[in-house]
Amino acid sequence: MIFRVVSIIILTAVLVYLFRKLKPHKITPKNVWQFIKEDFKENLVIAWRIKAVSFFQKAKSITAHLCAALFIILFITAFLPVLFGFHMTGLFMLIHVSTAILLSILLVVFVFLFSNSNQLSLEELQNLVNDYKQKKSIDYQIMLKVLYWLIIVLILPAMLSIILMLYPLFGTDGLEFLADVHRWSVLLLTICVIFVQYYRVLIKKEVHG
């Protein structure tokens, strides 16, 4: 009950806050939805047809967007039951577990493909902190790197908690604790993914106007 109320409040607050931040850039929720649709189409369908792009770049792009698509499925199958006060069972559970297995495999590939390009230097972090303190426009690319590593860190408890629940090592209290770890980790993970989309929309706006 507590998690349901808190998660709804937090996610609603984050979305309202970010859409208000996008308003000065003349970006509406409709624009964001259009960007998401075009983004998935370009990177999951059209990308393979572009001969000028290397296979490595295509693999990176497609892997990232497949991970995003699977995460959306996981979010829907897990959050909708929570939203309406039910436990995840039946078809929702089957889809959730199957998708989670596929996502786990893809995440290994995702980390392998993106870790090098998302390396963070102390100088970049210091510049980010200084820009924030001085209320300057922050570097969106650096923020995406920070979010990448936050996502990697949050994936670990989200996955390990579920794996540990499969073994008869914990009592009722232990299983409930692991379930809570999974829920809150995924909530923070969802917020990070939303912020990734926010900064990607801003970057596209800067590039294309």
Confidence at residue 12, expressed as pLDDT on a 0 to 100 scale: 92
- Supply the CATH number for residue 33's domain: 1.20.950
pLDDT tens for each residue of 68-113: 889 989 888 888 777 776 777 778 888 888 898 899 899 989 888 8
In the chain, the amino acid numbered 186 is V
Residue 1: band (very low, low, confident or very high) from pLDDT cuts 50, 70, 90: low
Which pLDDT belongs to residue 128? 84
More confident residue, 143 or 206: 143
Please check the confidence at residue 209 and state whether its pLDDT lies above 60: no
How confident is the model over 127-144, as a mean pLDDT? 82
Q: Rounded to an integer, what distance in angstroms lies between the CA atom of residue 121 and that of residue 140?
A: 15
- The domain of 13 spans 2-208
**Per-residue confidence band for 207, with pLDDT thresholds at 50, 70 and 90:** low
DSSP string for the chain: -HHHHHHHHHHHHHHHHHHHHHGGGT--HHHHHHHHHHHHHHHHTGGGG-TTS-HHHHHHHHHHHHHHHHHHHHHHHHHHHHHTT----HHHHHHHHHHHHHHHHHHHHHHHHHTTTT---HHHHHHHHHHHHTTPPP-HHHHHHHHHHHHHHHHHHHHHHHHHHTSTT--HHHHHHHHHHHHHHHHHHHHHHHHHHHHHHHHHHHHH-
CA-wise closest residue to 180 among 161, 155, 159, 164: 161
> Among residues 11, 35, 107, which one has the least CA distance to residue 68?
107
Q: What is the pLDDT of residues 141-163, one digit of tens each?
A: 889 999 999 999 999 999 899 88
| pLDDT value at residue 208 | 63
pLDDT computed for residue 124 by the predictor: 84
Number of domains in the chain: 1
Cβ–Cβ under 8 Å, residues 174 and 161 = no
What is the predicted pLDDT for the residue at 48? 67
